[in-house]
Chain A
Amino acid sequence: MSDNILEMRGITKVFPGVKALENVNLKVKRGEIHAICGENGAGKSTLMKVLSGVYPYGSYDGEIHYEGKECRFTGIHDSEKLGIVIIHQELALVPMLSIAENMFLGNEQAKGGIISWGKTRRRARELLQKVGLREDPDTLITNIGTGKQQLVEIAKALAKDVKLLILDEPTASLSEKDSQALLDLLLEFKTQGMTSIMISHKLNEIKRIADQITVIRDGQSIETMDREHVTEDRIVTSMVGRALENRYPHRSPKIGETMFELRNWSVHHPLHPERQVIKNVNLNVRKGEVVGIAGLMGAGRTELAMSVFGKSYGVNISGEVLLHGKKVDTSTVGKAVKAGLAYATEDRKIYGLNLIDHIKHNVTVANLSGVSNNGVIDDMRELKVANEYRAKTNIRSSSVYQITGNLSGGNQQKVVLSKWLFADPDVLILDEPTRGIDVGAKYEIYTIINKLAADGKAILMISSEMPELLGICDRIYVLNEGRIVGEMNAADASQEKIMRAIVRGEARGEQLEAAQ
């Protein structure tokens, strides 16, 4: 038997009008962690779907050899039978079922169709221990955080006797701490002889745990590198096909008077109104300035943004929003937009786009009055606008009539940005604008942000990636547990400084709460 557990040879997959994969080759050694990276739309997820049988044999060209035998999967069941388990980026858990029920979904611990709950719980407990999750197996999925849900997914895979574990961007929505724990877990599985394939955008993570790295670009496998020969620069170069000198485009800020101001902003939790989520926040953004909000997961960044934007989050909201020094009413989304505010959400699939409709309709939906007279849409004007923004934000698609659900993450993000650019706001709140998209598309998004600032917009940007905030912001607020615990000019800021502000803020917050 060869030491390759998996070989994919000459995989070609064609969708109507698009060649998603062209002659891709992938060799995975037994017992290694193999990372696959590439730009958004490069074809990584498609390749994994071919491997796991989501796209059945016959719908692609090429061969899959697993454990030395050629495999022709007709569905995900076939691949799971052989121990190939894929964990998708969007977790496939049923929120209102318990951890144990989810873990054995479709794989119930049953005899003759009757579930043995004792065995279910016992095995669930064993597996939870293996992944280091200390939760009662009867806890509902909806009551645990994303990090823990990810661990449940992995436990679920273990329940299926997984030999080859595929993880599609497992840390995309995890906090730093949870990500580290997850990576450690993968390393531990490796010592037990399990093989993993990990799709990731995060180069530091790849460098940390991967034995081999395969780069895919434009549907083709570019190269496979060993960990000894890897540098971040080399991966980036290989991914984008050119050397990316600077990951953040240069900008010379022209900062004007204060444009947007938040005074004594407080918000309470919608379900537990006694809990204050945002505590007396004061901040401002000036014309032409890019201001960042840093903070850990759960610090209240998204809650802050959404509560300002049409009271889309929270109850008992108090405080003032000022635009150009004047108090404005942002109590509904419509009023907020009219006042000159825009909010591009962190979750583009759930809150940002109509995924079953095409680009054109998505771009104009927040500003239909801009393409209509007296409620009647001017087709030609709309088409012109859509094409203009498609070009402006460099959306890669066959035309503006492409369904947004079929676009890659980066291009979907550009559609969301286009939508808000067309609404022509003065203040643009960007919530994790580069989440889950690759280096090349990130650069494009940064360029768009810089251009907006140069055009005199005020930009408030929320991000979990500190290097990104340091790279493109002029000023950074640090938010912790709903409180502003630091403000610094990007020029004097560093990751350590931000972390220190958070830690200090935590200590101070505890003192404050103890004093109350």
Chain B
Amino acid sequence: MTTDTAKQVSAARASSRDAITANLREYGLIIALIAIMLFFQYMTNGVLFRPVNLTNIVLQNSYIVVMALGMLLVIVAGHIDLSVGSVAGFIGAAAAVLMVDYGFNPFIAALLCIALGAVIGGVQGYFVAYMKIPSFIVTLAGMLVFKGLLLWLLGGRSLGPFPVEFQMLSAGFIPDFIGPWTIVEPALNANGRPNPGTGIVLHATTLIIGLIIVALMLYFALQSRRNRESHGYEAEPFGFFALKNAVIAIIVLFLMYKFASYKGLPNVLIVMGVLIAGFVFLTKRMTFGRRIYAMGGNIKAASLSGIMTERLTFYVFSIMGALAGLAGLIYAARLNQATPKAGVGMELDVIAAVFVGGASAMGGIGEVAGAVIGAFIMGVMNNGMGIMGINIDWQQVIKGLVLLGAVAFDLYNKKKA
């Protein structure tokens, strides 16, 4: 082997090693989430992993996850949005007024509401991007404005219930097209109905979807690996690759099995899944996403590289607004009413999720997967502590310390590297 090729090989090795280290953080987060889940599984005597509870965790956190996706973009862009809770509450109320008071078609009303959210985000984005007012101030103002408008719109009452179709957004599950698979017949009670908690009846469609997801995931992972190799770049070591994908596949199948043994996949999980996939693609593969990172990393260099930073900021806030709107709908559908208290403090949970997920407050750094896992870490802690009967006061203290600890641990690691 000539020294030249030896150099190339070692450079390629170094590059794959760099790529692995770059992703270590995300693996660390997943491991932390699993550890927290196992901890509460133990502390709650096995309640946490019960199918009904796992489904609950998804339902309880769906709107936080949805907003965390937008907040990740906002924070990576170097900004913050404090208004999302108020906007979500306001949009939920607007949806209630449209559907309950004026009898709008739920589907049309929902689209109008998401569009309204985008407009609200866009207006705030305009002030941030073009008027150069710090986002903290603009969105603090927005938070007050929309909290006020929410109260005005509802006039102190709670408005509901929503049409059944709309409730399905948060309360519904995907239909079982293939039909339930009964593995173990449930015991019947005196009325001839199956006793809950007995027997194993699986939601077949959910299981099949799970298998399809795993198959697709493995296919794409292999494809990308082969693609790397065909271009002469060394991919991560095969053992590591296989282990990583096997673990992910097992987790996905395990969760799908759990969902299947309750009522199947919640509709809102499908919405979330599609959005998460979309945002991963947007941040990792699209020029739009790349430009947000470039802008957050160094806005002057970005604009001197031809990136239209103002327009980009405007879009980012518009997306955030639309997602806050969607989250407001999910929340309202879950409660089956719009309340004057909706959305209060939600922005803090969303921002906490993004920071626990490893985003930098200075902008330019952060991953969609991290934000989603961050949201679930906080969500699982809420859920687990709730089941354990820990008082709400101490729950807050613990969550605050976890946020601080997560970020401190992260910085400590970075310093060491």
Contacts and interface: CB of A to CB of B under 8 A. Distances in A.
A binds B: yes
Contacts of A384: 231
A82 interface: no
Of B11, B287, B306, B308, which is in contact with the most chain A CB atoms at under 10 Å from its CB?
B306
A16 interface: yes
Of A16, A351, A419, which is in contact with the most chain B CB atoms at under 10 Å from its CB?
A351
Contact of B286 (A312, A337, A352, A376): A376
A356 interface: yes
A136 B107 CA distance: 69
B300 A350 contact: yes
B154 interface: no
A58 interface: no
B291 interface: yes
Interface in B265-319: 285-288, 290-291, 293-294, 297-298, 300-308
B378 to A, nearest CB: 26
Nearest to B22: A401
A365 B302 contact: yes
Nearest to B233: A383
A332 to B, nearest CB: 7
A461 B1 CA distance: 43
Interface stretch (B13-21, B32-40, B92-100, B204-212): B13-21
B417 A333 contact: no
B370 interface: no
A351 B297 contact: no
A343 interface: yes
Interface string A296-330: 00000000000001101000000000000000000
A361 B15 contact: no
Contact of A380 (B227, B290, B360, B417): B227
Contacts of B341: none
Contacts of A353: 298, 301
Interface residues of B, number: 34
A120 interface: no
A377 B287 contact: yes
B35 to A, nearest CB: 26
A332 B303 CA distance: 9
A240 interface: no
A345 interface: yes
A345 B18 CA distance: 29
Contacts of B290: 361, 365, 368, 377
Interface string B406-417: 000000000001
A205 B286 CA distance: 49
A399 B14 contact: yes
Interface string A325-367: 0000000111011000001010000111111111001000110
A355 B231 contact: no
Contacts of A356: 297-298, 360, 364-365
B299 to A, nearest CB: 10
A379 B285 contact: yes
A512 B224 CA distance: 67
A355 B297 contact: yes
Contact of B15 (A17, A333, A357, A401): A401
A375 B305 contact: no
Interface size class on chain A is 35 or more
B132 interface: no
Contacts of A332: 306, 308
A375 B288 CA distance: 7
A365 B305 contact: yes
B364 to A, nearest CB: 5
Contacts of A17: 14
A372 interface: yes
B300 A351 contact: yes
Contacts of B231: 380, 383-384
Contacts of A343: 304
Nearest to B228: A380
A398 interface: yes
A146 interface: no
A16 B18 CA distance: 11
B250 to A, nearest CB: 27
A510 B306 CA distance: 38
B287 A357 contact: no
Nearest to A312: B304
Given A361-B290, A369-B287, A379-B285, A355 B298 contact: yes
A393 to B, nearest CB: 15
A354 B287 contact: no
Nearest to B297: A354
Nearest to B230: A380
Interface string B333-367: 00000000000000000000000000010001100
A399 B18 contact: yes
A333 B305 contact: yes
A484 interface: no
20 contacts: A17-B14, A333-B304, A333-B307, A334-B306, A334-B308, A351-B300, A351-B301, A354-B294, A354-B301, A355-B297, A361-B294, A368-B291, A372-B286, A375-B286, A375-B287, A376-B285, A377-B290, A380-B227, A383-B231, A401-B18
Interface of A: 16-17, 309-310, 312, 332-334, 336-337, 343, 345, 350-358, 361, 365-366, 368-369, 372, 375-377, 379-380, 383-384, 398-402, 419
* Shortest beta-carbon contacts, A-B, top 5: A354-B297, A399-B15, A401-B18, A366-B305, A368-B287
